[in-house]
Amino acid sequence: QLVLTQSPSASASLGASVKLTCTLSSGHSYYAIAWHQQQPEKAPRFLMRVYSDGSHNKGDGIPDRFSGFSSGAERYLSISSLQSEDEADYYCQVWGGDMMFGGGTRLTVL
Amino acid sequence: EVQLVESGGGLVQPGGSLRLSCAASGFTFSSHWMSWVRRAPGKGLEWVANIKQDGSDKYYVDSVKGRFTISRDNPKNSLYLQMNSLRAEDTAVYYCARDNDGFDIWGQGTMVTVSS
């Protein structure tokens, strides 16, 4: 059974970098995922797709500060030069026959 | 401009019905799977249902099977969600989203509150 696991919370200082993780359950390490950002009181926004080979492709207008990569069953979202507007909930998602989201990570920018 | 705009949310009593609509513009609506996604208060995102380009295939999360029906009207560039037998746990903001190997376009959402 496919499960996407995310840490409930993360924090980092303004101007620093942070890496958020989405872990695919055993047997599903080949899945690609999408990352979405949801700022408070706003609609979700597509950030990027991250593939098992480590490649990623970003949505329109997503800053270079956002990048994605993979290692085994882990899919990562890296954010550099943190800004206050990066404080948000971040979700990973798989698509197709196993449509689902991870539980989300709330990022606090200190 | 690529856009999805939801409407139809509101307050409804338990057991009641509501129909949500989503108007698409700026892309070829008929070429894409489309989904409804919701976020309940204090909870994370939950995929609810999706529909194939021509409407021939539809899928639902278990919790809404038999109660919700997704549909589309391609000439009108519109997506719908008919929600019957509503429960308190259906209270959420409902978003329509374009399926494009991940949800790459999202609407602004419409609030559904199920309460007596």
Residues A12-51 have pLDDT tens digits of 999 999 999 999 999 999 999 999 999 999 999 999 999 9
pLDDT band at A98 (very low <50, low <70, confident <90, very high): confident
- Name the average pLDDT for chain B: 98
Between A and B, how many residue pairs show a Cβ–Cβ distance under 8 A? 56
Return d(Cα A91, Cα A74) in angstroms, integer. Answer: 14
| Residue A94 burial by Cβ neighbours in a 10 Å radius (0-12, 13-18, 19+) | buried
CB B80 within 8 A of CB B19: yes
* Nearest beta carbon to residue B45 from set A46, A49, A104: A104
- Which tokens is B102 given? 């991940």
Query: What are the φ and ψ backbone dihedral angles of B74, each rounded to 5 degrees?
Result: -65, -40
In B, minimum Cα distance to A100 occurs at: B47
* Nearest beta carbon to residue B103 from set A32, A34, A103: A34
What residues of chain A lie within 8 A of the CB of B101, using their CB?
Answer: 32, 34, 49, 95
Tens-binned pLDDT, residue by residue, of chain B (116 aa): 999 999 999 999 999 999 999 999 999 999 999 999 999 999 999 999 999 999 999 999 999 999 999 999 999 999 999 999 999 999 999 999 999 999 999 999 999 999 99
DSSP 8-state symbol, A1 = -
Is B106–A45 a contact, with Cβ atoms under 8 angstroms apart?
yes
Is A101–B45 a contact, with Cβ atoms under 8 angstroms apart?
yes
pLDDT band at A97 (very low <50, low <70, confident <90, very high): confident
Return d(Cα A51, Cα A75) in angstroms, integer. Answer: 8
Min CA distance, B14 vs chain A (Å)?
25
Neighbour-count burial for B107-116, b at 16+ CB within 10 Å, e otherwise: bebbebbbee
- pLDDT at position A91 over 90: yes
CB B50 within 8 A of CB B81: no
